[in-house]
Amino acid sequence: MKISRIHRTARGAALAAALLVAAAVCPVSGDAAAGQDRRIQTMVIDPGHGGMETGAKGKFGNLEKDITLAISLKLKAIVERNMGFEVVLTRDKDVDVSIENRSAIANNRKAGLFISIHANGAVQKKAAGSETFFLSLNATDEETRRLAYLENNSSELQSRLDPSSDDDLMMILWDMAQTAYIKQSSRLAELVQEELDAMLGTRNRGIKQAPFKILTGVACPAILVEAAFISNPAEEQKLASADFQAKIAEAIYRGLARYLRVPE
């Protein structure tokens, strides 16, 4: 797995650079201070899939990529109307955008929040409901131990930081920052999921952690919303309706607003 190592190290270095910049915008505060003052200037909405990559397919021919774009455009409009920050989409039409480029858009624009919109797909036709994901790092035993050590010895880590810092150290830093963002991501996921549950009338599948690629590269709190199942014929038809899409966008906005403590 040497290739993987090199690949990861390179990615770690690139992202660590973005992280150092992003750290100023995305304060890596503890959960105690969470919600007090989040000066977010830019948020990124990521309509899942696109172009050749259709995502999950419904029985009636609806494609995940089209539904995610429709919901994302509606969410962007609501947020821009009600909140004072810039909203950037990772795509605003039906085009292929690589996962790396999606994260890069968020990191280059110094996004303070990242919301990826998806429609779920399961092998079981009956699978139904809404769920919100945040990142699980899927750390191996060794990495978990290393992280635990470094989290308990962060002052020591800082004193060891110098310009000759190698990629490995940058990678560790990246993992640490991700760990910090995970607490905020978890809170955002919880609030968004509550609103989805209140507004959609779909089964509440709760908040979950998963090692989703799109969430691994983003240097700020990030969630992935699975609005409903396109693989379930009844939910597919709901997902395809503009009315239901608007409800999803509104629910995500309300969760976001509660997270930011902005009066609705």
Partner 1 sequence: MTEKKQGGVSRQALILGGLAVVLLVLVILFFTGGIGEKVKRFVDAAVPKASDAAGGQAAAKTVTLFFLSDDDDFLHKETREIAAGPTDAEEAERALVELIKGSEKGFVSPLPPQTKVRQVFIGKDGLATVDFSRDITEKISYGSSSELAAVYAVVDTLAFNFKPVKKVVLLVEGAEKETLGGHVDLSRPFLPDYSLVAR
Binding positions for partner 1, rule: CB under 8 A: 1, 3-4, 7-8, 48-49, 53-57, 64, 99, 118-127, 133, 137-141, 205, 210-214, 216, 224, 226, 229-231
Whether the CB-CB separation of 227 and 115 falls below 8 Å is answered with no
The pair phi, psi for residue 221, each rounded to 5°, is -55, 135
Which residue number, 138 or 241, has a Cβ lying nearer to partner 1?
138
Look up residue 90 and give its DSSP letter.
Answer: S
Q: State the nearest-atom distance from the C-beta of 140 to partner 1, in Å.
A: 6
Nearer to partner 1, 93 or 213 (CB): 213
User: What minimum distance in Å lies between the beta carbon of 73 and partner 1?
Assistant: 20
Closest CA to 29 of 124, 134, 123, 112: 112
At closest approach, how far in Å is the CB of 212 from partner 1?
6
Q: How far is the CB of 230 from partner 1 (least distance, A)?
A: 7
Which of residues 170 and 257 has its CB atom nearest to partner 1 in the complex?
170
Helices 167-200/242-260 angle, 10° precision: 120
**Closest CB to partner 1 among residues 135, 257:** 135
What is the nearest approach in angstroms of partner 1 to the Cβ of residue 124?
5
Q: What is the CA radius of gyration of the chain?
A: 19
Question: Quick one: 234 or 262, whose CB is closer to partner 1?
Answer: 234
* Alpha-carbon span 260 to 106, nearest angstrom: 18
Q: CA dihedral in degrees (167, 186, 43, 45; nearest 10)?
A: 100
